[in-house]
Structure 1
Amino acid sequence: MHKLVEYSDSDDESADEKQRVDFTPEELIVVDGQESKKDQASEAGELDSHQGRIRSFPHERGNWASYVCIPVPYSDDFEELSASLTEILRASCTQHSFHAIPSPHISLTRTLKLRHHWLADLTQGLLQMCSLYKQFYISLRDVQVYTNDEKSRTFISVKVVSGDDHLTSIVHKLNSLLTEYNLPPFYQEASFHVSLCSCVHDARVALTPVMSKLQNAVDEWIRDNPECAFFSVNKLLWKAGNKETWLSLDVS
C-alpha cells in the first residue's frame, strides 16, 4: 500500500528532516550523562548538506533546535534502501532532484525552539518519563509521500504499520511535558514514518506513476532484510543543538 500525505496547515514540520533547523555550533554530545567532543568536520558536513531545507524559525543566540526521535537500527541497510529509492526517482521522476536523507529516524516531536536554560530540567523530565515505558516492537512497510506545510519539500518515507499505539502513547506524554515549557505538541493525527529521500518543491503529482516501483523496491528490501523492518525500541534520542542524550526505556 502507498499513499500521498500532507500535513495540515496548523502543523510545523518535525525533526524528520522536514524544515530542519541549522544547529548552533555547539560541540558537546551528552550520552547517558557522559560528555564528549564532536568532530567539527562532521558537523560542517551536516550543515553543508541542507539540499533546500529551510529553517522553521530564525536562529537566535541561546535558542537550540531540538527534538526527540528514534534512530533506526541497521542504519547502513536503510541507507542502501535510500540509495535504491533515490536511483529509481532520478530515473523516473527527472523533473525533480532527489537526495537520500542521512541518519534515518522516526520523529516523535516537532523541531523545537529550546532555550538553553531549560535544557537540564527538560532533559531530566524526559529521562524520568521514558523510564516508565517498557521496550516495544515496531514494523515498517508502506511507502508514503509527505510534504511540509509550505509545500517546499517532498519526502519519500516508509510508514510504521505496527507499534504505532506505543508511539502514540509516548507522544501524548511528550506533548504534556513540552506544554510545561510552552513548546508546541506533535501532530494531532501523527503518521509515524522513516523518511529516506527528499526533494525541493511539491512533487506529489510527479510521483504518482512511480509509487508502485518504490513500493516494490521496499518490499524486496524487506524480504532481504527482515530484521530492519521489524525491530525493538528500547531507547529514544533527545537532541538539543549538538547535545545528544539517550532516553532509556524499561527493559526489565
Structure 2
Amino acid sequence: MSGLAYICGYGYGSNSDESDCEYVPIDRKRQKLPTPDLSKVSIVPQDEHVDDPELHGGRSRSFPHVRGNWATFIYIKYLEGELQNLVDKLQTATSFIDNSCQKCKDIHVSLSRTVVLTYHLITPFSISIQTALKNVESFELGFDSVKVYCNEEKTRTFIALKADCASNQYLQKITKIVDEVLLEYKLEPFYEDPSFHMSILWVNGNKQKELTTIIQDLNHIVAEEIGRSLKSVLVNKLHCKSGNKHFQYFLE
C-alpha cells in the first residue's frame, strides 16, 4: 500500500502523538474530460505552393518553391524591341522543327547561376555586389552567332544569340568578380567555362538535336541582321533580381 494512504489528520489541541487515524482510500480512476468544442476556432491552412506548369506555358521550375527562399541572379538587361525583326525571322525558321517555339520574355544575358537567398541576406548581398563592381567600366555588348542550349533538367530547349569575342573578355571579368561574392555567401559560382548568350526563343522538352540540324540556316539569318537590327549596345549597368526585388548597379 502506498505511503500516501496513511496520511492522518490531527485535530487542534491534541496532546497525544498516537491520535487515531482514519484511512481514506484514494480514487485512482480519472474522470474523462469533455471533448472541446472547436467549431468556432479559426483554422489557418499551411502555406503550400503547388507548381502548375499550365499557368506559365508548360514551363517547370528548376527547383521547388520554398517559403522564405528567394531565387536570385545577376544579369544584363537587353531591350526586346530592338530584336523584334530578328526574333520573328528565327521563329519562322524554327517552325519546321517545332511550331510551338515561343519568344522569351525579359531578354537578358546571365552573369551568375540562379541561387537561393534567405530574406535577411538579400540587402547585404546586394551591397556586396555593388561594392565589388564599383571599378568595372562600361563596355559594348555584341553577338555573332546562334547556339542551341538545353537546361540542366532537360525540360526546355533555347535558341540563343552567342556573345562575340570582344564582349566575352568583359563578361569573363565581371563573372569572376560576381563569383567571389557568391563564394563569400557560400553560393555556387558560375559555370567553369561559361558560354555567354542571350536566349530569345524556347520550346518545351529536349529538342537540342533537332534544332541543331538547322543551325546554319539560323546563323545565315543572324549574319544578314548584324548591323541592322542586331547592333552592339552599350552596357553601363548590371541588374540583380531576387524574388520580386530588383537592384541595379551602374558601371563607370
Q: TM-score, normalised by structure 1?
A: 0.74
Shift of 1:106: 0.4
Give the secondary structure class of the aligned counterpart of 1:97: coil
1:230 and 2:232 are equivalent in the alignment:
yes
Distance 1:93 1:222 in 2: 24
Whole-angstrom CA distance in 1 between matches of 2:82 and 2:139: 21
2:78 aligned to which of 69, 72, 89: 72
CA contact (8 A) 2:140 2:235 kept: yes
Does the 8 Å CA contact 1:69/1:107 hold for their aligned counterparts? yes
2:87 to 66, 82, 85: 82
- Alpha-carbon distance change, 100 to 183 in structure 1, aligned in 2, over 3 angstroms: same
Give how far 1:49 is off: 6.5
8 Å contact 1:156–1:196 — kept in the other structure? yes
Q: Secondary structure at the match of 1:109?
A: coil
Residue matched to 1:29: none
Question: Is 1:118–2:104 an aligned residue pair?
Answer: no
Q: By percentage of residues, which structure has more strand?
A: 1
The percentage of aligned residue pairs carrying the same residue is 32
Determine the C-alpha separation between the residues in 2 that align with 1:160 and 1:109.
15
Single out whichever of 105-114 and 54-63 deviates more from structure 2: 54-63
Q: Deviations over 1:174-201 (max 9, x none)?
A: 1110111111111110000110101112
Alignment check: 8 A CA contact 1:79 1:102 kept: no
Q: Hey, what does 2:218 align to over in structure 1?
A: 214
**Structure with greater Cα Rg:** 2
- Cα deviation for residue 170 of structure 1 reads 1.0
Deviation of the 1:125 alpha carbon? 0.8
2-structure distance, mates of 1:48, 1:125: 37
Query: Structure 1 pair 48/233, CA: closer, same or farther in 2 (3 Å)?
Result: farther
Find the aligned partners of 2:108 and 2:74 in 1 and give their Cα distance. 10
Q: Which has the higher contact order (CA 8 A, sep 6+)?
A: 1
Q: Which runs of 5+ in 1 are unaligned?
A: 1-23, 25-46
List gaps (5 residues or longer) in structure 2.
1-48
SS of match in other structure, 1:68: strand
Q: Which deviates further from its counterpart, 117-126 or 146-155?
A: 146-155
Check conservation: 2:62, 2:153, Cα contact below 8 A: no
What amino acid is aligned across from residue 217 of structure 2 in structure 1? K
Tell me how far 1:53 sits from its aligned partner.
2.4
Alignment partner of 2:172 out of 148, 151, 168 = 168
Describe the superposition over 1:183-223 as per-residue Cα deviations: whole angstroms up to 9, x where unpaired: 11111100001101011122122123321221122222224
Pair 1:244-2:252 in alignment? no
Count the aligned residue pairs.
200
Q: Which amino acid aligns with 1:88?
A: A
Which SS does the other structure have where 2:160 is aligned?
Answer: strand
**TM-score, structure 2 normalization:** 0.74
Tell me the distance in 2 between the aligned counterparts of 1:53 and 1:184: 23
Aligned in 2, Cα 1:109/1:229: closer, same or farther, shift over 3 Å? same
Q: Distance in 1 between matches of 2:212 and 2:126?
A: 42
CA shift, 1:121, in A, is 0.5
1:154-174 superposed Cα distances (whole Å, 9 cap, x missing partner)? 110010012211111111111
Task: Report the Cα distance in structure 1 between the residues aligned to 2:133 and 2:58, rounded to whole angstroms.
Answer: 34
Alignment of 1:97-176 (within 5 A): 97-161=100-164, 162-176=166-180
49 and 142 in structure 1: CA distance in 2 versus 1, 3 angstrom threshold: farther
* Local SS of the residue matching 2:214: helix
Q: Report the AA paired with residue 174 of structure 1.
A: V
Cα RMSD of the aligned pairs, angstroms, is 1.9
